[in-house]
Amino acid sequence: MPCIVAEHEPNDTLLEALDRPPLCADRPATGSIPAGDASDHWRLEAPRPGLVQADLAGIPSGTNFDLYLYTRQGQLLAVSQRPGTEAEHVEARVSAAGDYYVRVYASEGRSPAPYEIRWSMAP
């Protein structure tokens, strides 16, 4: 299955993200959280154990988006809740290859303007 660089709806829950292609590693992707939406979930495919890192940038004006990192089973590994439109960063050391998920959550405001998300893997 190819990786993606743009949001595929619906991806509002972890369950919906299970069937979506994964985010491309080391490449930015775009998504948005317009009115009526609260969050986006993105699947990551870690090829090996190591440090999973994800960054959220370009958060639209008048909003506050947060970033969460989860295991496939929904266990929270890391969270970033910076104020306003400050960029978010999460990282966690994972002990196994496999699927992980990042959630972009609109804690304040919504916007059809795009945000940018990316992830990478370090040894």
pLDDT digits (tens, 9 = 90+) for 86-121: 999 999 999 999 999 999 999 999 999 999 999 999
Residue 49 counted as domain residue: yes
d(CA 4, CA 29): 7
* pLDDT of residue 123 exceeding 90: no
Cα–Cα distance, 27 to 35 (Å, whole number) = 27
Report d(CA 26, CA 110) in Å as an integer: 26
Asked whether residue 6 is domain-assigned, the answer is no
DSSP designation for 61: T
Helices (H), the chain: 14-17
In a domain, 4, yes or no: no
Q: Which of 121, 119, 123 is nearest to 102 (CA)?
A: 119
Domain of 104, CATH number, reads 2.60.120.380
Lowest average pLDDT, out of 1-5, 36-40, 75-79, 110-114, goes to: 1-5
**Mean pLDDT to the nearest integer, 30-38:** 96
The total number of structural domains that make up the chain? 1
Q: Which of 16, 23, 27 is nearest to 1 (CA)?
A: 23
Q: What is the pLDDT of residue 1?
A: 60
